[in-house]
Each structure stands twice: as structure tokens, then as C-alpha cells.
């Protein structure tokens, strides 16, 4: 099932010198985002940088969120990942998508123009209303245990 998402090109490089976001295969859950930059950017070990993607999106549906996630190969081979774990793009944000990259590797990584830097996935959203109470039942098998309380194996 497809939902309609409007995408607006906000950088003239996108679609001319830089390939627009796309799914790599028919089975891909997320589309690849590319660095929409004119010149390479050096990302130092322990450093962070904001890399623009050249597109803005209009989800037209408050029941969706766009999630920016790391590319596994970039993380494994070079230690470069989406800095905050995942990026959340709310349905009402219409500006250019930027990806904050972090370099956990031991060497400088150079982001090249047009390089696939992250993945963009769309997910349904359920908003909840918190109900504040004085106490609640913890009568479950786990109870209030956390942080490894269920064991390692």
C-alpha cells in the first residue's frame, strides 16, 4: 500500500548531479538519502556534521513520521552513523532534511557529493495522552525490574 508524500527539491544539484532519494530494491523498507553537497566534507574522528539532502517533504498526514536511520555498511566499515541514533521528522515539518552524522571511527571520513549517507523510512504514529496517577500496579512477572533484570541468556 502506498501513501502519497510530496517531495520538494530545495537544491538544484538534486536530480541533476545528485540522484534523488530512492529505494535500492523492491524489498527495501527505507529509501537512501544522499549527500546533496557540492564539495566533499571531512568528518573528523569524534566529530559531527550536518549534511543536507536537497529535499523537503510534506507528509500530508499527521498519522506519519519520517525516520532517518544509519546505513549499516557505513556504520560497520567506517564508524559513521546518524548522530542521535535516529532522526525524527514530524509530519508538520516542511524544511530541508538534514542528516547529522557522527564519526565514531578512528580515522577521518570524507563524505562525498552524492554519497548515500542515511536511510529514510516512514512509519505510522499513535499519539497518546498521559494520565497522571499516584501509583499503578507493578504486578507483572517483571515488575519494576529493568536494566538486565531478565538475565543475559
Which residues fall in the annotated binding site for substrate?
71-73, 84, 88-90
E strand segments, 31-139: 31-34, 41-43, 48-58, 64-69, 80-82, 87-89, 96-103, 109-111, 116-124
Burial class (CB in 10 A: 0-12, 13-18, 19+), 72: exposed
CA 125 to chain CA centroid, nearest Å: 16
Binding site listing: 71-73, 84, 88-90
Amino acid at each position: 500500500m502506498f501513501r502519497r508524500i510530496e517531495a520538494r527539491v530545495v537544491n538544484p544539484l538534486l536530480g541533476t548531479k545528485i540522484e534523488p532519494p530512492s529505494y535500492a530494491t523492491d524489498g527495501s523498507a527505507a529509501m537512501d538519502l544522499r549527500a546533496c553537497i557540492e564539495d566533499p566534507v571531512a568528518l573528523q574522528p569524534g566529530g559531527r556534521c550536518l549534511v543536507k539532502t536537497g529535499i523537503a517533504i510534506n507528509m500530508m498526514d499527521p498519522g506519519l513520521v519520517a525516520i532517518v536511520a544509519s546505513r549499516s555498511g557505513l556504520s560497520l566499515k567506517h564508524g559513521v552513523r546518524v548522530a542521535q541514533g535516529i532522526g525524527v521528522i514530524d509530519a508538520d515539518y516542511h524544511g530541508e532534511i538534514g542528516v547529522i552524522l557522527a564519526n565514531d571511527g578512528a580515522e577521518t571520513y570524507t563524505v562525498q557529493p552524492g554519497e548515500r549517507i542515511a536511510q529514510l523510512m516512514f512509519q505510522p504514529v499513535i499519539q497518546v495522552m498521559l494520565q497522571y496517577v499516584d501509583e499503578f500496579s507493578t504486578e507483572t512477572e517483571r515488575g519494576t525490574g529493568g536494566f538486565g533484570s531478565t538475565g543475559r541468556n
